[in-house]
Structure 1
Amino acid sequence: MVRREDSMARLMQITTPLAEDVLLFQRLHVYEELSRPFEHQLTLLSAQKDINLDDVLGKAVSVQLGIPKGKFRYFSGYVSRFAQSGMVGRYYRYTATSRPWLWFLSRTADCRIFQEMTVPDIIKQVFADHPTADFELKLSASYHKWNYCVQYRETDFNFVSRLMEQEGIYYYFRHDKGRHTMVLVDSTSAHSPYGDYGTIPYVVPERVRRTDQEYIDSWEIS
């Protein structure tokens, strides 16, 4: 797969902080849900056995997926875990976990008081302390000012999550080439169909599948 140059070999590509093609894409597992940081599990191949982990950890990566009509879908994030894990033929296998910039907030705790501020304003002030923060507010409700709001030995992630849950704010991530944006919303009216994915076919697992068509083969509500 690594050496093929046909359309299938280049259906998915990865951009990393290393030189082009030092790390080659092999596999991606994506875990996403509303109001939860996403997690991308990546399997990569390289001809190099001695890649410096510090050159990758904490850095931005972006996977490009070719979709119909010559368009692309992206999965972008920051590497929170990177390790070498054996070989595939003559290539060295590396595994990586990519998470959103929001994940970094789970590594920072603080004690502070916010006075005469709305929850959206508090969130913006917390995010301002993080250089990687990339977010957009699409809120339609009016929010009252809190006389005071205390963050006491909480991580920034737990603190803003608690405030959003209390005020009925939730979020999702919009992915673009080389970046991802956290979008905060409080109403389903803030959503719109994603590109050509307004309708996705359902195919039962036993039925013959077309390899060039995206589909859903299982659905669960819990």
Structure 2
Amino acid sequence: MPSGLRFTLDVDGLSPDTFTVVSFHYTGSYSSLFRLDVGVSSAYFTTLSYEKAIEKDAILKIWQGDTLLRHVRGFVASFSRHEYDGQRASYQMEIRPPFWRSIYRQNFRSFQNQDIETILTTLLAENGVTEYSLLLGNKHPVREFCVQYGESDYAFLLRLLSEEGISFFEAFADDGESQWLIFSDDAAYLPPPIEIPFNPNITTGSADEYVSQISHTVQIRPSSVVSKDYTFKRPGWQGKFREDGANLDWQRSQYEIFDYPGRFKDEQHGRDFTRYQMDGFRSNAEIALCESNSPRLWAGQRLTLTEHPLDSLNTTWQVVASELYGEQPQARPGQRGQGTVMNNRFRLIPADITWRPAPLPKPKVDGPQSATVTGPEGEEIFCDEYGRVRVKFAWDRYNKLNQDSSCWVRVSQGMGRNRVW
């Protein structure tokens, strides 16, 4: 980038001149929580206590002169004090998005007759995540019974989102302030592409944006997924679905994944879950690793590459991950260095592919569960049409001891000579 490149950091409740940015490192990708590490210096050594920074909102801004190129907003999750040279002290911050707080909330909980959108919005609200958007074009049917079993809120949602074929990423507006979390199940919702030419001879003082390196890779991944499940309500139901992968030109079609139980009880979930698994397994079958001087390329953006000598690469891609580095060593007293520099390393996949997370395992339950048989007040026997009884698990803190407690369970009864029917 040309001269005039500079970085600033503002922390809520502190004056704008409190910190001078020395370096930063941003990492972000689909279906992960971004991390922004910022090295700063400050003259407020004697008055800058930890509680003035930790848990406070912070925003890094990247400027070209007076033009704002990019910002990243989050909160300070870690704050470290380092050396003091008699004039200024060095500090290191780790900045995270609000959704990161869900890592530190663990629960045992059941959700009854709710779809993924309802479960997601409930847990986002409980974790204080208010700036988000749901861009869901596919059907996501109601789940009769869904359990968070000893998982953090984040791990639980990550598992459900992977089952439902939904990815998430941070979106950054051009106003230098607005930023929100996007949940999406279709690449059609991605913004229009940014056109950037390829130029391997870019210089540090270049005034234009270029892609300076690109490495294109294709790799073997599973070629098909077969899922099967069973439900006692429809014992004759086949419950079997198959999805074949696309773009198998460079590999064999023998790499089949068979999944049982498939965690579905109806056709809609069966078809969709199988397709989502296939997409997740093949999300990185074709990738391109790139470098650029542009800070505008992050997960969820689209890029149209031009002027590459290999015409097949001059097409539209989507960014699935990025690492943005920046240094201005002259911010330290007595340091000159090479001036302010910035570099963006990012990973691409074809623009028309809907990136989905790979499936994640469900937690395992060790041994039998303790529960209390429940029902409406005043009724001694309470069963449904299948002879099931309603129970409330010992770990269930949310449901009451009534007809709406944890869930229905099938019943077996002990007979003489250890027989069971």
Q: Give the TM-score normalised by the residue count of structure 2.
A: 0.47
| 1:98 and 2:95 are equivalent in the alignment | yes
Q: Aligned equivalents of 2:19 and 2:130: distance in 1? A: 26
Aligned equivalent of 1:73: 70
Provide structure 2 residue ranges, at least 5 long, that are not aligned to the other structure. 216-286, 289-421
Q: Aligned equivalents of 1:156 and 1:218: distance in 2? A: 39
Please identify which structure carries the higher strand content. Answer: 1
Amino acid at match of 1:80: A
State which of 120, 125, 131 in structure 2 corresponds to 1:123. Answer: 120
State which of 197, 204, 213 in structure 2 corresponds to 1:201. Answer: 197
Aligned equivalent of 1:13: 8
Q: Aligned equivalents of 1:134 and 1:88: distance in 2? A: 41
- In angstroms, what is the RMSD of aligned CA positions? 2.4
Asked if 2 retains the 8 angstrom alpha-carbon contact of 1:22 and 1:46, the reply is yes
Asked if 1 retains the 8 angstrom alpha-carbon contact of 2:72 and 2:172, the reply is yes
Structure 1 residues 77-156: aligned runs within 5 Å:
77-87=74-84, 90-156=87-153
Amino acid at match of 2:188: S
Provide structure 1 residue ranges, at least 5 long, that are not aligned to the other structure. 1-6
What secondary structure, in the 3-state scheme, does the structure 1 residue paired with 2:128 have? coil
132-141 or 143-152, which moves further after superposition?
132-141
Q: Aligned equivalents of 2:134 and 2:64: distance in 1? A: 28
Structure 1 runs (4+) greater than 4 angstroms displaced: none
Deviation at 1:70, TM superposition (A): 3.4
Q: Aligned equivalents of 2:101 and 2:178: distance in 1? A: 15
Deviation at 1:79, TM superposition (A): 0.9
Amino acid at match of 2:162: E
What secondary structure, in the 3-state scheme, does the structure 2 residue paired with 1:105 have? helix
Aligned identity (percent) is: 21
Asked if 2 retains the 8 angstrom alpha-carbon contact of 1:60 and 1:178, the reply is no
How many residues were matched structurally? 211
Asked if 1 retains the 8 angstrom alpha-carbon contact of 2:99 and 2:127, the reply is no
Deviation at 1:188, TM superposition (A): 0.5
Amino acid at match of 1:32: G
Deviation at 1:55, TM superposition (A): 1.3
Q: Aligned equivalents of 1:150 and 1:162: distance in 2? A: 11
| 1:60 and 2:57 are equivalent in the alignment | yes
Query: Structure 1, residues 184-204: CA drift from partner, whole Å, max 9, x if none?
Result: 00011010137xxx0223332
Q: Aligned equivalents of 1:209 and 1:25: distance in 2? A: 20
What secondary structure, in the 3-state scheme, does the structure 2 residue paired with 1:217 have? strand
Q: Aligned equivalents of 1:199 and 1:86: distance in 2? A: 43
Q: Which has the larger radius of gyration?
A: 2
Structure 1 residues 167-178: aligned runs within 5 Å:
167-176=164-173, 177-178=176-177
Amino acid at match of 2:109: R
